[in-house]
C-alpha cells in the first residue's frame, strides 16, 4: 500500500481466477480424477478451465494487471505469491 503523487492510495491485490474453457480431451485416472495438473474443473460450469494467479494495482476505476501466471493443481499459495512478486 502506498500513495501516488496525487495523494491517492495504491494497493496491490493478488487474485486466483479461471480463464478460458479447455476444449481438448481431459485425461482421467482410474478414480475419475483429472490427471492434467494445469486444468481445473468448476462445478456448474462448462469446465474444465485453466486457473490463473494475477497481481494487479487496485483502488481506482480500472485495475491495472501487472502479471499473470498459470496455476498448477496442488501448488502452495506462498510459491504462487513469490512468483508474482
Q: How many domains does the chain have?
A: 1
- pTM value? 0.63
What are all long-range contacts of 2-9, with beta carbons under 8 Å and residues at least 24 apart? Answer: 8/59, 8/60, 9/59
Tell me the pLDDT tens digit for each residue of 14-64. Answer: 888 877 666 677 777 888 777 776 666 665 566 667 788 899 988 777 888
> β-pairing, 49-58 with 2-3?
unpaired
Amino acid at each position: 500500500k502506498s500513495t501516488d503523487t496525487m495523494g491517492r492510495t495504491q494497493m496491490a491485490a493478488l487474485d486466483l481466477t479461471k480463464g478460458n474453457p479447455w476444449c481438448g480431451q481431459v485425461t482421467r485416472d482410474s478414480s475419475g480424477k483429472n490427471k492434467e495438473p494445469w486444468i481445473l474443473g468448476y462445478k456448474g460450469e462448462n469446465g474444465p478451465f485453466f486457473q490463473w494467479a494475477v497481481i494487479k494495482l487496485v483502488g481506482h476505476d480500472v485495475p491495472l494487471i501487472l502479471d499473470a501466471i498459470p496455476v498448477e493443481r496442488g501448488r502452495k499459495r506462498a510459491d504462487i505469491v513469490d512468483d508474482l512478486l
